[in-house]
Structure 1
Amino acid sequence: MTLGARRTVNPVARLLTAGVIAVALVLSVDWVSALTALVLEIPLLVLLGVRLRSFLIRGGLITVAAGLTALTNLLYGEVSGTVHWHFLLINVSDGSIELALAMFLRVLAIALPSVFLFLDVQATELADGLGQIFRLPSRFVVGALAGMRLVGLLREDWRYLGYARRARGVADHARVRRALGQAFALLVFALRRGSKLATAMEARGFGAYSDRTWARPSRFGAPECTLVFAGVAIAAASIAVSIGYGAWEFIGA
């Protein structure tokens, strides 16, 4: 599956793949299943055509986040086995080290496919898939899509508010108070724009009929089935290897 194929794969298939892997990894708190899934995900990302530069940049950020999560578990995890270091509330033991390793690998294994599968997903394509394939209510899907399209305008509104305040000479001091006032003004702008959008959608008959037509058909074919099958295979392999190794620890146990 090349880069061009990745761009044409239905976003719903990507969502299913990332969800299957994530669900399998949150069922247990062991490092074997996470490591197995991580090792199998790398070839999948290569086949999907993820560029090396993008992988290094975003993968580096994910690694930093996973490292911070592991550090918290290392210092404040449940004490078991030999205690290697103790200081106030900090206890570094065999159990906390193993837990930190498991959490580090688990965050990587869950975040990597979740991030790279959605690099080039368009919000409109995802909404079409959710409405036509998952059969979610159109009021929810299209309403959420309309809201997401307005998110970019908030950044522009924030910048224009800053320009206007500087022009009036009220942005040269009291940065905290200025930021709070500007945030409140941005909230007012967002509410006004949201009410105008709701009025416009209602005037065009949005939500008047239960059966909605879609301008762009959303298809689920062989590429989507292949991607979902790969996700299921990764999830099943991680669980099987963990159980076979004897490291499986079901979270409900």
Structure 2
Amino acid sequence: MSVLTPVRGSGRIYAVNPVAKLAASLLLSLFLLVTVDWVSALVALALESVLFVWAGLGPRAFFRRTAAIWIAAPLAGVTTVLYGLPSGTAYFEFGLIHVTEGSVQLALASALRILAIGLPAVVLFATIDPTDLADGLAQVVKLPSRFVLGALAALRLVGLFLDDWRQLELARRARGIGDTGRLRRFLNQAFALLVLSLRRGSKLATAMEARGFGGSTVRTWARPSRFGARDWMLVLIGLAIGAVALGASIATGSVNFVLG
């Protein structure tokens, strides 16, 4: 199963409207992006950990989907420690490397912030079906149907691009031209995939126009998208976590506003 495939095994979070998931993730991110400190990120991460269990994702699915976040967070922290803005007590200096008290605190805040923002976003997006998302954006947010359906069709083609890449690689190797020169092979394959993608996109656009997807009349939808109490609850939870995290940062005096 591809990481792009939505997780349907968790009925609790999967049943929530995709628009509510987007709104909750956005509100939480806005609060965490206001300040750069480790207290707000740690508080948010602790509160989110409880919700991860409620979401119903199994440990294997959770860590497989969030593997990139767990790798990116420590890498960002190490980079910030070595090359961050020096301030406070200096612990180690060598050339462009300055490990100071300020850079260590900033590195800790950066790593925790990546986890606090990235993990809930991945968990929420992993349980979103593209068709349900399109229904929600068109019926709840009232976005233009032409844009929504075009984006849905493009998202559905992502899996085909991965298959096309593998097929191109196998075809080139069968012809004896894909065994040497990795960079040259990658560039040639990428250009071939671009040409194939443009042709497929043009055919898809023509087919959708022929079936009336680009018309100016009001569309009907096969599946209604409703925004109920459960969806509002998830939005409020995201808002509450962000507000509590920011409030804890202000109360402890560790707040460091980005625009301050």
Superposition map of 1:90-101 within 5 A:
90-101=97-108
Q: Does 1:13 align with 2:43?
A: no
Corresponding residue to 1:234 among 219, 235, 241: 241
Report SS of the residue matched to 2:99: strand
Structure 1 residues 47-196: aligned runs within 5 Å: 47-59=54-66, 61-196=68-203
Quote the Cα distance in structure 1 between the aligned partners of 2:11 and 2:68: 25
1:37 to 29, 37, 44: 44
Post-superposition offset of 1:173: 3.1
State the alpha-carbon separation in 1 of the partners of residues 82 and 118 from structure 2.
Answer: 23
**Aligned mates of 2:143, 2:251 — CA distance in 1:** 39
Q: 2:232 maps to what in 1? A: 225
TM-superposed deviation, 1:28? 0.3
1:60 Cα shift? 5.0
- Residue 61 to residue 167, structure 1, CA distance change in 2 (3 Å): closer
**Identity of counterpart residues, as a percentage?**
55
Name the aligned partner's letter for residue 167 of structure 2. Y
Moved more, 11-20 or 158-167: 158-167
- Deviation at 1:212? 2.0
5+ residue gaps, structure 1, are: none
CA gap of 1:243–1:175, structure 2 versus 1, over 3 A, is: closer
TM-score (norm 2): 0.91
Change (3 A) 1:196 1:57: closer
Amino acid at match of 1:191: L
Which stretches in structure 2 are left out of the alignment for 5+ residues? 1-8
Q: Is 1:46 equivalent to 2:53 in the alignment?
A: yes
- TM-score, normalising length from structure 1? 0.94
Change (3 A) 1:111 1:220: same
Letter of the 2:208 partner, please give it.
M
Matched positions, count: 252
- Runs of 4+ displaced beyond 6 Å: none
Per the TM alignment, residue 105 of structure 1 is displaced from its structure 2 partner at its CA by 0.9
Q: Deviations over 1:97-152 (max 9, x none)?
A: 11011111111100110011122211111111111111112121110111111111
Structural RMSD (CA): 1.7
